[in-house]
């Protein structure tokens, strides 16, 4: 099946030499949202706000065209719009490189097909899966506890649990759709022949889980969101059966206290975390998630006359017997002080896998983050990986 682009997407893709760009605000339901108006030399014109479907695609295309345009002074735009676009271009080459590249002797750069180092899916996704299955059982008043894994191999296996003193066996299959997005099928849900579908999406500031069990007419979602400004992680969950919501929950999880934070740094190793995450312990917040993984993040603000810049480092940390896994994102966020338009000046993203066995093998897979990547990152690293041994 092919996905057809709609007319707006086609027009966005056709934009070439820019003639006029304007960032401004709209009032929607008593709130201001960013909006963009753009014309090119072929007199194509597009006007979208942040609530429109293809707003991000339009913003990406404008930035790409602005980067490629030979004489940007010919583009008609107000001072703030130009300062935001110029700041994006100026910031990217200087700070667009991930902190963890080029620092490990003996690492070799290779093209990156789908990379899965010996059960990565099991270690990355399985704890999240086990947490949600247990919580869903409890919603139906079925006390549930996990036994050890009966078998597990590269995203396939059998889960064993006990509910009402009865053994339950649930076959599962995990598949990776794309970077940070996983589909899971679980059989024998609630001890019956029902199939439970879960999709897990790990994004920049959020981890989302979507549930569905068609035979039960069950559906729902759970979202964990980082708020770098408040230094917290919020959780919101909603589950419905037959179209009626029967469970809702909203909580806020605060960072680890200083003693627990220090214990984690000592457990993993301050030098390793600093090298992989690019942050120092004193400027980093750590939140323990319910399934045992950690979110680690830091934010540094820079202010200008027309904008606010935020240098943000985020790490999703998995500590297991065989692997340390870090999903690392490093980016710079630019926010207009008058309008509500936001730009990503740079972005680098990598999945780091560190084996704990005697081979001491390490792999870093670099994701292609699109137009926000710096030139060197995109040209040399995006879509490739490093592999080698830890010294």
* Model confidence, pTM: 0.78
Identify the pLDDT of residue 1.
Answer: 37
Predicted confidence at residue 93, as pLDDT, reads 46
Please list the pLDDT of the chain residue by residue as tens digits (391 residues). 344 678 888 899 899 899 999 988 887 666 777 889 999 998 899 999 888 888 878 888 888 888 888 899 999 998 888 888 887 776 554 444 555 554 555 666 666 555 555 567 778 888 898 899 888 888 888 788 887 655 567 778 888 888 778 888 889 998 888 778 889 999 988 767 789 999 999 887 889 999 999 988 999 999 999 887 777 889 999 999 988 998 899 999 888 998 998 888 888 777 777 766 777 777 788 899 999 999 988 887 777 777 788 888 888 888 887 778 888 888 877 887 777 677 776 777 878 777 776 666 777 778 777 666 666 677 777 777 777 766 5
pLDDT of amino acid 125: 86
pLDDT of residue 20: 94
Q: How much is the pLDDT for 351?
A: 80
Rounded to whole angstroms, what are the CA distances from 35 to 22, 25, 63, 82, 241? 8, 6, 15, 15, 38
Domain edges within the chain: 7-77, 108-114+256-389, 120-253
Residue 291, pLDDT score: 92
């Amino acid at each position: 099946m092919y996905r057809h682009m709609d007319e707006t997407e086609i027009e966005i893709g056709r934009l070439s030499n820019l003639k006029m760009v304007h960032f401004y605000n709209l009032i929607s339901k008593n709130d201001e949202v960013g909006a963009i108006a753009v014309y090119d030399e072929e007199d194509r014109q597009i006007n979208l706000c942040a609530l429109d479907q293809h707003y991000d695609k339009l913003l990406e295309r404008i930035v790409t065209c602005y980067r490629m345009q030979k004489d940007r002074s010919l583009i008609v735009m107000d001072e703030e719009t130009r300062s935001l676009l110029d700041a994006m271009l100026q910031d990217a080459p200087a700070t667009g490189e991930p902190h963890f590249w080029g620092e490990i002797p003996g690492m070799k750069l290779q093209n990156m097909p789908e990379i899965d180092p010996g059960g990565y899916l099991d270690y990355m996704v399985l704890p999240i899966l086990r947490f949600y299955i247990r919580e869903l059982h409890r919603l139906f008043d079925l006390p549930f506890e996990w036994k050890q894994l009966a078998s597990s191999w590269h995203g396939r296996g059998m889960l064993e649990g006990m509910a009402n003193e009865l053994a339950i066996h649930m076959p599962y299959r995990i598949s990776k759709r794309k970077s940070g997005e996983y589909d899971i099928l679980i059989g024998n849900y609630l001890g019956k022949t029902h199939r439970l579908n879960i999709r897990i999406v790990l994004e920049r500031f959020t981890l989302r889980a979507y549930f569905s069990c068609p035979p039960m007419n069950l559906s729902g979602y759970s979202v964990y969101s980082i708020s770098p400004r408040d230094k917290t992680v919020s959780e919101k969950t909603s589950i419905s059966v037959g179209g009626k919501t029967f469970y809702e929950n909203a909580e806020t999880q605060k960072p680890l206290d200083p003693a627990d934070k220090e214990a984690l740094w000592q457990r993993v190793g301050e030098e390793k975390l600093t090298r992989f995450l690019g942050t120092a312990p004193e400027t980093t917040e750590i939140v323990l998630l319910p399934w045992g993984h950690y979110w680690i993040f830091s934010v540094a603000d820079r202010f200008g006359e027309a904008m606010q810049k935020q240098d943000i480092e985020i790490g999703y940390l998995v500590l297991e017997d065989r692997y340390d896994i870090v999903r690392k994102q490093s980016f710079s966020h630019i926010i207009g002080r008058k309008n509500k338009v936001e730009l990503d000046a740079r972005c680098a993203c990598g999945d780091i896998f560190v084996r704990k066995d005697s081979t001491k093998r390490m792999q870093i897979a670099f994701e292609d983050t699109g137009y926000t990547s710096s030139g060197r990152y995109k040209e040399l690293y995006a879509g490739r990986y490093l592999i080698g041994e830890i010294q």
